[in-house]
Amino acid sequence: MKFPRSSGVLLHPTSLPGPHGSGDFGPAAYHFVDWLAGAGQSLWQILPLGGIGPGNSPYMSSSAFAGNVLLIDLAELQSQGWLNAQDLTPDAGFEEHRLNFASVWHWRMHRLAIAARNFYAQNQGKTNAEFDAFCAHHANWLDNFALFMSLAEHHHWADWCEWPNGLGKREPAAMMQAQQDHAERIAFWKFCQWRFFTQWQSLRQYANNKGIKIVGDAPIFIAYQSAEVWARQDLFDLDENGRPNVVAGVPPDYFSVTGQRWGNPMYLWNAHAKENYQWWVERVRRTFELVDIVRIDHFRGFASYWEVPASEPTAVKGRWLPGPGAALFNAIHAALGPVAIIAEDLGEITPDVEALRREFAFPGMRILQFAWDGSNTNTFLPHNYQTDTVVYTGTHDNDTTIGWWHSASDQERQHAKDYFGIDGTDIHWDLIRAACASVADTAIHPLQDILGLDGKSRMNFPGKSEGYWEWRFSWDQVKHEHGNRLAALCRMYRRVIN
């Protein structure tokens, strides 16, 4: 799909300001949309909206369909009469520039439980048409998710294959009994998803009305400890006990000499093919109910993927195997028509990956921080771009541009200085300007780079499981000139659509 020439900002909602320990779908999100519009932007790129997993990563969610309940705006629940003002008194441990997941999780979950109880108490003996319609529309994943989360909590987050009484194997009698035993908690999780989806759709509509599209993110793999793996064990490479035989990762690369052992279970692609990829079609359909454009993480895994024995501690001893290729995207196209997908084609990219991307006209990605190895053929250098490209100064996995510049080698810094004819004192804006000026149809800028923040504001470090995904900004860091300068560049390089 051809993308119009445009510009946007990368910021996950958890990084937004707000009084309740984490960014959410409250007033700050709407203010950020207003800021984007004023800065001449037409795209807001986010990370996956699903719940967090190990290390607080949004790429290891407990569901491929459910939303992150930490993003629910609690003030909206108060406006509905389900919380009171005292419930919203912030915890003393909340931090302005850091998301303390441990304290935020417990505090927010307690408030959500109060709100759910009050909602059901108000509707005792009555039906709520909006809630019932939501549950019916999402029943094909919501029922499994609510039961899964209730059981996972009850069993202290032990892997689902360790659950007793036939629950791991989803024996019918055990499932029926569990639904009765955990009815109250199942209702809680359904309530939370209802508010998540309702609030997000309001925010998305507000952005769309301002001329801003949402760029979402869909990880290719899903977490083992997830409702979908538990519900469809036949679609994953598991042993007789339900544990993964092999797991996902990537071989040694720019980020890690031992590769990255992600640990996700691998798909049984033959089983998916027998169903004409209906599980994937439904996943993509549901994702497009939430966002306007989807960035598919690790796109190269659809051409071929790195499979690591589950017994291996690192990703070094893996092997490449063929993925589903064009058959998967043909099934998606047949069911949904042309879809706006960005292919994350970073890492070890072979001709088959490039051919698959081009066959379906998915734009690929270019990262300016990767351009400075001294070669004039480096594909990340702007003079080597083609229009079907999304260019970034860096992504959520990179250091901020200033952090990168301070840690880059003398040779890398000199190459960038020579290439742009700069002295490096304003490197973050130099790279933003280069992205805007390039022939790439789409330019995306992390908010950290617009604000000129150093490596302390890095969002993630691939391969490091602790201490990341925590960054938040405050409005006093956002100066008038930030938006004006970005808007001026977008006007100069024809990236302002209106």
pLDDT tens-digit readout, 394-435: 999 999 999 999 999 999 999 999 999 999 999 999 999 999
Position with higher pLDDT, 217 vs 257: 217
**Hey, what long-range contacts does 134-140 have (CB within 8 A, 24 or more apart)?**
134/193, 134/194, 134/197, 134/198, 135/190, 135/194, 138/65, 138/193, 138/197, 140/282
- 462 confidence band (pLDDT: 50, 70, 90): confident
Rounded Cα distance, 419 and 413, in Å: 10
Q: What is the mean pLDDT of residues 371-386?
A: 97
More confident residue, 108 or 92: 108
CB of 317 closer than 8 Å to CB of 309: yes
pLDDT of 498 > 60? The answer is no
Q: What's the whole-number mean pLDDT along residues 328-357?
A: 95
Q: What is the DSSP letter of 361?
A: T
Rg over CA atoms, the chain: 23
Task: Tell me what pLDDT residue 158 has.
Answer: 97
Whether the CB-CB separation of 235 and 268 falls below 8 Å is answered with: yes
pLDDT interval class at 254 (50, 70, 90) = confident
**CATH number of 6-492, picked from 1.20.58.2030, 2.40.50.70, 3.20.20.80, 3.40.50.720:** 3.20.20.80
Q: Quick one: pLDDT band at residue 127, thresholds 50, 70, 90?
A: confident
**Reduced to 3 DSSP states, what percent helix, strand and coil does the chain have, rounded to the nearest 5?**
45, 15, 40
Q: Model-level pTM? A: 0.96
- pLDDT tier for residue 292 given thresholds of 50, 70 and 90: very high
How far apart are the C-alpha atoms of 460 and 457, rounded to whole Å? 9
- Catalogue the active-site residues: 297, 344, 397
Strand partners, 363: none
Residue 305 has pLDDT above 90, yes or no: yes
Mean pLDDT across 302-309: 96
Q: Write down the pLDDT at residue 463.
A: 78
pLDDT band at 40 (very low <50, low <70, confident <90, very high): very high
Under a CB-based contact definition with an 8 Å cutoff, are residues 23 and 16 in contact?
yes
Please give the average per-residue pLDDT across 334-354, as a whole number.
94
For residue 188, the tally of other CB atoms under 10 A from its CB is 24
Q: How far apart are alpha carbons 280 and 353 in whole angstroms? A: 19
Whole-number Å distance between alpha carbons of 232 and 244:
13
Measured CA to CA, the distance from residue 147 to residue 187 in angstroms comes to: 9
* Mean residue pLDDT across the chain: 96
Q: Judging by DSSP bridges, how do beta strands 442-446 and 6-10 pair with one another?
A: parallel
Q: In the predicted model, what is the mean pLDDT of residues 58-80?
A: 96
3-state secondary structure of 217: strand
Per-residue model confidence (pLDDT) at position 123: 83
Residue 464 has a pLDDT of 84
pLDDT-derived band at 20 (thresholds 50, 70, 90) equals very high
The pLDDT confidence band at residue 125, using thresholds 50, 70 and 90, is: low
pLDDT value at position 366? 98
- According to DSSP H, which parts of 424-465 are helical? 427-437, 447-450
Q: Give the per-residue pLDDT at 497.
A: 62
Give the start-end residues of each E strand in 220-372. Answer: 246-250, 260-265, 293-297, 304-309, 319-322, 341-343, 364-367
Number of H helices, E strands in the chain: 17, 12
**What was the pLDDT predicted at 165?**
87
pLDDT at 215: 98
Give the mean model confidence (pLDDT) for residues 139-159.
Answer: 97
Q: Supply the pLDDT for residue 481.
A: 97
Mean pLDDT over 212-228 rounds to 96
